[in-house]
Structure 1
Amino acid sequence: MNIDALITTLYSCRKACLFCADACLDEEDIADMSTCIRLDHHCAILCATTADLLVQSYGNIDELLKLCIEACKACADVCSQHKHDHCQKCAASCRECITACENYLSRSA
């Protein structure tokens, strides 16, 4: 995976997570959505930070990519448990981001 494709995927995941978090606030049982909202925000922050640093040609980014993978996995796991379309789309975007990050990490292994 090239760096431009990874950056695009990271920003796309950020967008999906922020959309999901906002949409979760409109669901009937917001208390049931609190973990989803929290993980959406964590994932969005890590994806954006990782992408921003890649854009700036920051040095060794491998550890941040690993953190991003962890956040995406946690977010995908929780979102996939909810039937809402926004949660399902967020989970799918997180899984795409996991794959992109893992592919990028494997290029330097």
Structure 2
Amino acid sequence: MHEQFKECIEECLACLTECNHCYDACLKEADFKMLEKCIRLTRECADICGYAASAMSRGSQFAIEICRLCADICEACAIECEKHSSHHEHCKKCAEACKKCSDVCREMAS
């Protein structure tokens, strides 16, 4: 069953990786207090992406609903990371991965 979710699983895992990288890099920034919302969202986004990939790979009956939620959280994370993307390359890459994951999750869930 997970074959129908293959692209979405891959995008979720790619987003999880970028969110984890952004999370870690933000914590190392001198102005990390200014990045507090970004830090929180990257953590939440990584968590839901991992859960969504896991749910899809095991054929969960709730995979569609989880992917809708994943798309919403990825979108929120992308919006926040974009605010910092001109100063932080890790935020730019994270925003791009989040947008792509959000798009693929929404498409798959529709």
In structure 2, which of residues 11, 14, 20 is the aligned counterpart of residue 12 of structure 1?
14
Q: Counting helix residues as a fraction of each chain, which structure ranks higher?
A: 2
TM-score by length of 1: 0.92
Q: Percent identity?
A: 35
Structure 1 unmatched ranges of 5 or more: none
Matches for 1:50-89 after TM superposition, within 5 Å: 50-82=52-84, 83=86, 84-89=88-93
TM-score by length of 2: 0.91
The residue aligned with 1:97 is 101
Judge conservation of contact 2:55–2:62 (CA < 8 Å) in 1: no
Supply the distance in 2 between the matched residues of 1:89 and 1:81 (Cα, whole angstroms): 12
Structure 2 unmatched ranges of 5 or more: none
Q: Number of paired residues?
A: 105
Question: Deviating runs (4+, > 6 A) in structure 1?
Answer: none
Q: CA deviation at 1:41?
A: 0.3
Aligned partner letter, 1:37: I
User: CA-atom RMSD, angstroms?
Assistant: 0.9
